[in-house]
Structure formats: C-alpha cells, structure tokens
Structure 1
Amino acid sequence: MTDVSAEEYNNNMARTNNNKIDGKDLEKALERQNKNFEKMLEQQANVILVAVDERMSRSEEKIKKEIKSEINTLANTLDKFLKRLTDFDDEFQIIKARVGRIEAVLQEKFGLVIN
C-alpha cells in the first residue's frame, strides 16, 4: 500500500547508507509514509465500524423478536383474563335475572318483599 516504488526505496536506502540523504528527501519520504499510515488507519477504522454495525443490527433484531414474543404472551394472557371476566359478568347477569324472578314469585305468591 505504499506509494514508494522499489527503485525509489533502493535509491533512498543507498543514500542513507552513504549518509548523503538530505532533509527534503527525508521529509518527503516521511510525508508519504504518514499519508500511508493515515489511509491504513482510516481503512481499519471503517472495517471495525462495519463489523460493530453488523453486530449491533443482529442484536437489535434479536431484541425486537424477544419483545414481540413477550408482547404476544402478554396479549394472550390479557385475552384469557378478559374472557374469564366476561364469562363471570355473563353468569352474574344470569344469576341476577334468576334472583329477580325468584323475588317476583315470592312477592306474588307469599307477599314477601326482599330488599
């Protein structure tokens, strides 16, 4: 991933070995190396971010499924409870009507009034 060709590298090494490298060449080489490091760090950061994003997406989907399951369980429990409550209310209305008829018969036949 370096921009330095093999020939440039060899030339730079030869100059370094001969202690004839000047400051400008060194500065340019360091600049290129810094740019390469920056590119590599940026690419590495992007790879890490993509991996984290994918994992978070999977976790998010798992959590959504669990929440939906819990909501369905709660809805089923509430449906059963409301059915029992409705059944109880229906039975209460039937018993209330029967008691009303019994009161009417007692009042009619025996003159008995129940409050």
Structure 2
Amino acid sequence: MKNKKITIDQLARMMQKGFLGVDKRFDETDAKIHRIEASIQAIDLKFSQKIDALTTTLDKFLKRMTDMEEEFTIMKNDLKKMKKVIREKLGVDLI
C-alpha cells in the first residue's frame, strides 16, 4: 500500500465530512426519538382517560351497591317487624 500524503486542509475536510455524516445520523435518531416520545405521550393520555372513565364507572357501581345494601337492610328490618306483628296479632309464625 502506498503512503499517500495529504495536507492538513484535506484531512480537515475528510474529518468534517465524517462528522457531518454522524451529525445527520444523530439528527435522524433524534427525530425518531421525538416521534416515539409523542406516541408514548398520546398512549399515556389515552390510558389516563380510560383509567378515569373506569374509576368513574366503578365509583357509580359501588354507590349503587351501597345504596342497595342499605335498602336491603331496611327492608329486612321491616320484614322482621311485620313478622313480629303477624305472630303477635294472628298467632302465625312465618318462616
């Protein structure tokens, strides 16, 4: 292999060309990263909205269940009172 002599200016241009290629690849990588970050943010927003909607639905369901349990307890106590009155007044013991 022949020893090729180059000037400092030629070496500087070669180095600059190499660095410009690397810079271009970094710019492309940065653009990809920004697109990925935007996509992740969109997914995160959708996920948060779904969690909020699910939480709201669950809260409403639990409220309905609590209300039904309270109503059931009231009805159960009313039924006990009615059975007691029927047993005392009519002498009939209801099961």
- TM-score band, normalised by the shorter chain? 0.7 to 0.9
2:29 aligns with 49
Using the aligned pairs only, state the percent identity: 27
C-alpha separation in 1, matches of 2:14 and 2:91: 109
3-state SS in 2 of match to 1:84: helix
Q: C-alpha offsets along residues 22-67 of structure 1, whole Å, 9 cap, x if unaligned?
A: 9523xx36x8354333212111111111111212221111111111
C-alpha separation in 2, matches of 1:54 and 1:93: 58
Q: Greater RCO between the two (CA within 8 Å, min separation 6)?
A: 1
1:96 alignment partner AA: K
1:85 aligns with 65
2:83 aligns with 103
1:60 aligns with 40
C-alpha separation in 2, matches of 1:36 and 1:79: 63
C-alpha separation in 1, matches of 2:47 and 2:4: 63
- State which structure, 1 or 2, has the greater radius of gyration over its C-alpha atoms: 1
| Superposed counterparts of 1:1-80, under 5 Å | 24-25=4-5, 28=6, 32=11, 34-80=14-60
TM-score (norm 1): 0.69
C-alpha separation in 1, matches of 2:14 and 2:54: 59
C-alpha separation in 2, matches of 1:87 and 1:62: 38
C-alpha separation in 1, matches of 2:94 and 2:26: 84
Q: C-alpha offsets along residues 58-105 of structure 1, whole Å, 9 cap, x if unaligned?
A: 111111111110000000110111111111111111110110000000
When the two chains are superposed, the root-mean-square deviation of aligned CA atoms in Å is 2.0
TM-score (norm 2): 0.82
3-state SS in 2 of match to 1:24: coil
